[in-house]
C-alpha cells in the first residue's frame, strides 16, 4: 500500500509549529520569523511535501510564474509568418545579452519558487496574446525586454493596468518601472580609454540610431572626445550584430584608413571590428585600439580579448525581477527606476 502524500499537518509536526504557520510560509506571507521559515523549509524537504499550486493560487492569488517577454517591432499589421517568427527567435537566442538577462531573472526568482515563462511579442497578434495571458491570470506580471524603439507593448501594458517592469527606459514616457544603465557615462569611459592610449584618429561604430541607448553611448563618447581636443569622430551605424560590425568597420576603413582607435557600441560589433582589422593586416591594439561595450562572454573569447565597458546585465535583470515582485506583492504602487553605473574592464584590445 502506497504511503499517503505528505500534508501541511505532516510538515507542521516535523517542524514543531502550527499548521497555520506552515501555510503562511508555503504561501509566501512575509510576517514569519526567518528562523521559523528555515525550520519549515527543512521540514518540507524531510517530508517531501509538495504544495498544491491550484489551491495555493486560490489563497494567494499568485501563480508562481512571471512572463519574460522579448518584444519586437512596432506597429506592423497583418500576420507574422512562421519563418519571420523563427528568425526573430533565432536573433534573440544568438545574442549573449539575452542569456545574461535570463540568468539574472532566474537567479532572483528561483529562491522564491517563482518561474519565468518565455514569450515573444514580435507582432500585433503576439502582443495581444501576451495581454490575454496576463489578463487571464496565467502569470503574476511581465518582465519586458524591448528590441525596438517604437515597441507599443509597454504602453499597452500600462493602459491595461498590468504589473510590468521594463529593461531600459522607454523612448516614450510610460507609467511602468524600469531598470537601465548610465549609457552616456559608458561612452565617456570608452573615450577616456582611447585618449589615455594617445589615439588621435578615432572612429566609432554606433548601435541603431533610433535606439536611445545607442544615442546616449554615442553622445558620451563624442562629448568626451571633443573635450579631449577631437571635435570630429567618424561614425558608422551598426545593428548590434557581428555582421553589422564587419560592415561598419569596412566602411570606416575605406574612408579613414589611418584610424588609430575604434569604439564599438557592443561586443558583437567590436568582434566584427577586430575581424576586419585582422583581415586587413592591422594589429590590435598596436595599430588600432578597440573598445567594446557590455563586457559579455564575447569579450573574453574575442581575438584579442576585448577591453569593454561593463554593463552589469545580470544584476540589472535581477533588479527588474525584484521591482516586479514588489509591485505584485503591493510593496510598491508607483513606477520606479533603478540606474546602474558602467565600468571599464581592461583587456588586450586597448
Spell out the residues 6+ positions from residue 185 whose beta carbon is closer than 8 angstroms to its own.
220, 341, 342
Spell out the residues 6+ positions from residue 274 whose beta carbon is closer than 8 angstroms to its own.
284, 290, 302, 303, 304, 306, 349
Parallel/antiparallel/unpaired status of strands 307-310 and 164-167? unpaired
pLDDT above 60 for 75: no
pTM (two decimals): 0.77
| Closest C-alpha among 107, 65, 112 to residue 316 | 107
267-320 confidence digits (pLDDT tens): 999 999 999 999 999 999 999 999 999 998 899 899 999 999 999 999 999 999
Residue 182's SS3 state is coil
| Closest C-alpha among 12, 30, 13 to residue 21 | 12
The full set of domains in the chain, from first to last, is: 8-51 (1.10.260.40), 65-181+313-341 (3.40.50.2300), 183-310 (3.40.50.2300)
Average pLDDT over residues 120-135: 90
Comparison of pLDDT for 84 and 211, the residue scoring more: 211
Joined grid coordinates for residue 204: 566609432
Task: Compute the distance between CA of residue 338 and CA of residue 317 in angstroms, rounded to an integer.
Answer: 11
Summary mean pLDDT of the chain: 87
Q: DSSP letters along 85-151, please?
A: HHHHHHHHHH-HHHHHHHHHHHHHHGGGT-EEEEEEE-SHHHHHHHHHHHHTTSSS-EEEEESSTT-
Q: DSSP letters along 218-252, please?
A: HHHHHHHHHHTT-----EEE--SSHHHHHHHHHHH
Task: Compute the distance between CA of residue 114 and CA of residue 286 in angstroms, rounded to an integer.
Answer: 49
Joined grid coordinates for residue 144: 519586458
**What is the model's pLDDT at position 177?**
95
Comparison of pLDDT for 149 and 167, the residue scoring more: 167
pLDDT above 50 for 236: yes
**What is the model's pLDDT at position 22?**
82
Joined grid coordinates for residue 64: 508562481
Task: Compute the distance between CA of residue 193 and CA of residue 107 in angstroms, rounded to an integer.
Answer: 33
| Closest C-alpha among 256, 315, 307 to residue 282 | 256
Q: Which spans in 163-229 are helix H?
A: 183-196, 212-227
Joined grid coordinates for residue 77: 499589421
Looking up cell 513606477 gives 335
| Helix 183-196, helix 212-227: angle, nearest 10 | 40
Spell out the residues 6+ positions from residue 173 whose beta carbon is closer than 8 angstroms to its own.
none
Amino acid at each position: 500500500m502506497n504511503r499517503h502524500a505528505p500534508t501541511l499537518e505532516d510538515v507542521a509536526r516535523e517542524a514543531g509549529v502550527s499548521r497555520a504557520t506552515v501555510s503562511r510560509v508555503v504561501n509566501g506571507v512575509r510576517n514569519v520569523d526567518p528562523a521559523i521559515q528555515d525550520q519549515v523549509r527543512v521540514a518540507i524537504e524531510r517530508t517531501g511535501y509538495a504544495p498544491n499550486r491550484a489551491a495555493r493560487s486560490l489563497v494567494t492569488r499568485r501563480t508562481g510564474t512571471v512572463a519574460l517577454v522579448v518584444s519586437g517591432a512596432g506597429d506592423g499589421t497583418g500576420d507574422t509568418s512562421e519563418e519571420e517568427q523563427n528568425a526573430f527567435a533565432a536573433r534573440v537566442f544568438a545574442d549573449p545579452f539575452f542569456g545574461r538577462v535570463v540568468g539574472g531573472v532566474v537567479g532572483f526568482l528561483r529562491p522564491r519558487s517563482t518561474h519565468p515563462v518565455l514569450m515573444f511579442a514580435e507582432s500585433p497578434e503576439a502582443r495581444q496574446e501576451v495581454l490575454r495571458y496576463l489578463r487571464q491570470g496565467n502569470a503574476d506580471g511581465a518582465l519586458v525586454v524591448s528590441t525596438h524603439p517604437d515597441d507599443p507593448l509597454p504602453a499597452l501594458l500600462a493602459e491595461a493596468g498590468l504589473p510590468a517592469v521594463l529593461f531600459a527606459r522607454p523612448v516614450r514616457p510610460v507609467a511602468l518601472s524600469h531598470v537601465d544603465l548610465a549609457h552616456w557615462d559608458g561612452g565617456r569611459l570608452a573615450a577616456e580609454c582611447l585618449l589615455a592610449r594617445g589615439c588621435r584618429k578615432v572612429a566609432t561604430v554606433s548601435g541603431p540610431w533610433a535606439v536611445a541607448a545607442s544615442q546616449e553611448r554615442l553622445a558620451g563618447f563624442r562629448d568626451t572626445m571633443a573635450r579631449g581636443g577631437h571635435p570630429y569622430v567618424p561614425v558608422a551605424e551598426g545593428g548590434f550584430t557581428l555582421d553589422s560590425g564587419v560592415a561598419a568597420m569596412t566602411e570606416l576603413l575605406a574612408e579613414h584608413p589611418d584610424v588609430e582607435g575604434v569604439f564599438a557600441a557592443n561586443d558583437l560589433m567590436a568582434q566584427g571590428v577586430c575581424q576586419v582589422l585582422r583581415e586587413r593586416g592591422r594589429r590590435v591594439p598596436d595599430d588600432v585600439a578597440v573598445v567594446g561595450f557590455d563586457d559579455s562572454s564575447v569579450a573574453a573569447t574575442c581575438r584579442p580579448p576585448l577591453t569593454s565597458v561593463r554593463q552589469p546585465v545580470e544584476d540589472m535583470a535581477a533588479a527588474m525581477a525584484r521591482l516586479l515582485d514588489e509591485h505584485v506583492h503591493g510593496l510598491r504602487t508607483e513606477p520606479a527606476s533603478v540606474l546602474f553605473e558602467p565600468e571599464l574592464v581592461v583587456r588586450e584590445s586597448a
